[in-house]
Amino acid sequence: MDSIRIVGGHELNGTIPISGAKNAALPLMIASLLTDDTLTLENVPHLADVEQLIRILSNHGVDYAVKGRRRAEGQGYARTVDFTARDIVDITAPYELVSKMRASFWVIGPLLARMGEARVSLPGGCAIGTRPVDLFIEVLEALGAQIEIENGYVHATAGSGLTGAHYRFPKVSVGATHVALMAASLANGQTVIDNAACEPEVVCLAECLNAMGAKIEGAGTRTITIDGVTSLSGARHRVIADRIETGTYAMAVGMTGGNVLLKGAEASSWQTAVDVLGETGIDITAEEDGLRVYRNGNGLKAADVTTEPFPGFPTDLQAQFMGLMTKANGVSHITETIFENRFMHVQELARLGADITLNGQTATVTGVPVLKGAPVMATDLRASVSLVIAGLAAEGETRVNRVYHLDRGFERLEEKLGACGAEIARVSG
């Protein structure tokens, strides 16, 4: 099993290209099930989760073609992919596929809307909590679906088609908002979704669906209105830049010091985190082709964060921020409100010398002057990269094991960091 070897103590200087957002690419790919025309997506990242979803969509009958395959593979970034679901050959998403990636459950929305039936495996638990699918089921039932759960599968039917409705989510869910938008786009009549997720990835999906002929208003606000249409066409759409990757590399620069241009990044998609990083002493300024991140030699200041739905501090940057705060001057408090069990990186950071105590969903981090390299074990995607960030600033060698987690969400991470001066390499076996 691969690992990543890091020798800390090197400033980061140079340019890091920001890839397309995984969290935007996945629902966009699933939206291809809504039409028998071709959906062309630009700026698709080359990630394990993307490749897994391609296999899942292929199981349903989606054909795909990567444009400029050889050139794209040589560069490693920004692929353009055609998805064509001319014929849906299977309305079942089996456990052996869905269990490998929770987002694949989202196919239930477009399959039900287009075919009148979907049978999708329950995804099961994951490393950062149970993340149940009750909100997905509730919104589909509000749209007129009949739902049965049998033998570990959600069987949804709508023989006469889905019907528009007014539904309010009891709590914000990005995934369930994605499913609601896709299902309601082909429903009969108008749907109003209250307490919808406002994330940029939701806006990206809505813009793509509108380009396909949907009638969606209000994406990016808590209330979204969808006027159903009888069919959708193909379209061409670009995956937005990954705000989580952007924030991760900004914190890496903060951890090591240096000066890096995050090419293609923008601040508006993660402004709350930008403001927090400013409090710690990291300077982030907008330039014509991205964001410039700089930290001088004055050290980091401690800051407190609480994760919240957009536009709050993203839960997907919580682990990275904890890694950053391990070397800050003072005491910081990090409260996780989105997912349970999302502090599994704490014990691994402690192996590097971090001083962290837990009290329920709040971690108290007392900055230390020195971290020291050690072997650590990745537990999930964001925890993995928090260990990389800490390793970049630790004295000596850090070995991050089980890095297949990183491959799910970070495109060529070691190459991007290595090009800016980090001593980092993937070790096979």
Cα 305 to Cα 162, 367, 380, distances in angstroms: 41, 15, 21
What pLDDT is attached to residue 413? 94
Cα(63)–Cα(55) distance, rounded to whole angstroms?
A: 10
- Tokens read off for 279: 């409090």
Distance CA 347, CA 354 (A): 9
SS (H, E, C) 61-84: CCEEEEECHHHHHHHCCCEEEEEE
Least confident of 36-45, 196-205, 296-305: 296-305
Q: 53 pLDDT exceeds 80?
A: yes
What is the CATH number that goes with domain 22-238?
3.65.10.10
pLDDT at residue 129 is higher than 80 = no
**Domain 3-18+241-427 = CATH 3.40.190.10:** no
Residue 83 burial (CB < 10 Å; 0-12/13-18/19+)? Answer: buried
CA–CA separation, 128 vs 242, rounded Å?
21
Q: What is the pLDDT of residue 114?
A: 98
pLDDT at 69: 52
Q: What is the DSSP string of 376-394?
A: EE--SHHHHHHHHHHHHHS
Binding positions for phosphoenolpyruvate are 22-23
Helix 318-325 with 381-393: angle, nearest 10 deg: 20
Question: For this structure, is 126 an active site residue?
Answer: yes
Q: Residues of CATH 3.65.10.10 domain(s) within the chain?
A: 3-18+241-427, 22-238
53 is written with which tokens?
Answer: 């979803």
- In the predicted model, is pLDDT for residue 323 greater than 50? yes
Question: Coil, strand, or helix at residue 229?
Answer: coil
Strands 375-377 and 397-401: parallel
pLDDT category, 100, cuts 50, 70, 90?
A: confident
- The whole-angstrom separation of Cα 64 and Cα 84 is 6
Question: Confidence class of residue 339 from pLDDT cuts 50, 70 and 90?
Answer: confident
pTM of the shown model: 0.95
Question: Is the pLDDT score of 288 beyond 50?
Answer: yes
Kindly tell me if the per-residue pLDDT of 399 is higher than 70.
yes
CB 327 within 8 Å of CB 252: no
Confidence grade of residue 381 (pLDDT, cut at 50, 70, 90): confident
Instruction: Give pLDDT tens digits for 242-286.
Output: 999 999 999 999 999 999 999 999 999 999 999 999 999 999 999
pLDDT number for residue 387: 96
Q: How confident is the model at residue 232 (pLDDT cuts 50, 70, 90)?
A: very high
Residue 77's pLDDT is 63
Within 8 A by CB and 6+ apart from 6, the residues are: 373, 388, 391, 392, 394, 397, 398, 399, 400, 422, 423, 424
